[in-house]
Structure 1
Amino acid sequence: MKEYEDIETLFKTLEGSFDGETPREGHRDRFLSRLSEEAKGGTQRNDNPWWRNLSIAATIALLLASSVFIFRGEQSLDAQVAEISPQASETSRHFAGLISVQIKELEQMSSPETKPLIDDTLTQLEMLDSDYKKLERDLVQGGDSKLILSAMITNFQTRIDLLREVMERVEEVKQFKNENYENTTI
């Protein structure tokens, strides 16, 4: 009942602000005919197919234009380095190939005795690779190119030397293991 009192109060306060005009003649008939037309499957409004087709075409054009900007992006870091110094890029690919081959060989030499040494070496190689990526970014950003290129080559040489040293140690461990087995008597 309290709601009813609030509604009463609302109508009393809004009295005089309502539109008091009566609808035009035949309003109810027009309304009912549109309602029955809609119920039969007719359209409520008269759609212009060209307008709808135009809006679809505009949407497709907008999506295509935005995808060009999204997928265009920047050149990769390697492409930028190759643009600055093609020789450095070629040298980088050569060293990276050598290092990759040596890492595969090292992983094949893995045994329970050498696994900690190999895992530690792979971690150090990842850190050196991260340092190399920083050097590439510095080169692209316009640092002292001779100094950076020298540091990049030194980084590769350090990785190769590390891999050679670890491979030698793994060989020593295997030889030591074989000697111990040979000297053991039953």
Structure 2
Amino acid sequence: MAQDLRELMNQEKYAQRPKLAKGHENRFLSRLAEEIPEDKKSNSYLWMKIAAVLVVVLATSFFMKEQFITTSSEVPMLTNTPKESPSITPVYLSDVSPQFKKIEDYYLGNINAELAQLTITKDNKELIDSFMLQLEELDKEYTRLNEEMDETGVNEAVVNSLINNLELRVGLLSKLKNKLGEMKQASKESIQGVKI
């Protein structure tokens, strides 16, 4: 009577397996084919797919070619020669080259985004006003540097000063944001201390 249980389970499993009638599988497959017929793929969709891929490839190659041509011709030409004839409109950093325009737009965009996020309350008005005065001074300096570049011509020192000015403004706004966060946190803590 001492038999292995695993052996008994295997024997019983095979003994209870039902036997299918002869030809059952063939009848099932033929009935399945009748109920769910295979879709015949038409060649018109294939041609449309090929045309779509060609359009994408051509558009991408055209864009890449234009991008390559413009980036290779965007090398800034810095000169130390003063302008011979004064122009009516002043020269700005964005007028020097497309690369400098991207830099200027990036910094000015960040500055404007930070300014738009400021919420002035009676508690932080004095702090914001002091930072705005510093920003105004940096803005005046930026205008003066642009005028200097218009008078003396484009040179590396003026361009670096303009970029540093923009970086200083972004840094100043970042400090203001941190100070406002600290003030807000201190205000929350004092309110929570009063409630407890």
TM-score scaled to structure 2, two decimals? 0.51
2:33: which partner in 1?
Answer: none
Any idea what the Cα deviations from partners look like across 1:38-81, whole Å, max 9, x if unmatched?
xxxxxxxxxxxxxxxxxxxxxxxxxxxxxxxxxxxx65335x64
Aligned to 1:91: 103
Gaps of 5+ in 1: 1-73
* 2:112 is equivalent to residue 100 of structure 1: yes
Query: Could you tell me which residue of structure 1 aligns to residue 148 of structure 2?
Result: 138
The answer to whether structure 1 residue 167 and structure 2 residue 180 are counterparts is no
| SS of match in other structure, 1:141 | helix
Task: Give the percent of matched residue pairs that are identical in Structure 1 and Structure 2.
Answer: 25
* Alignment-derived partner of residue 77 in structure 1: 90
Offset of residue 92 of structure 1: 1.3
Code of the residue aligned with 2:111 in structure 1: it is I
Q: Give yes or no for contact 1:84–1:140 (8 Å, CA) kept in 2.
A: no
CA deviations over 1:88-143 (Å, ceiling 9, x no partner): 2332122111101101112x2x2211110111111111110110011111112225
Q: Which runs of 5+ in 2 are unaligned?
A: 1-86
Q: 4+ residue stretches of structure 1 with deviation over 6 A?
A: none
Higher helix share: 1
Change (3 A) 1:118 1:159: same
CA distance in 1, matches of 2:195, 2:103: 52
Q: Which has the larger radius of gyration?
A: 1
Conserved 8 A contact 2:93-2:162? no
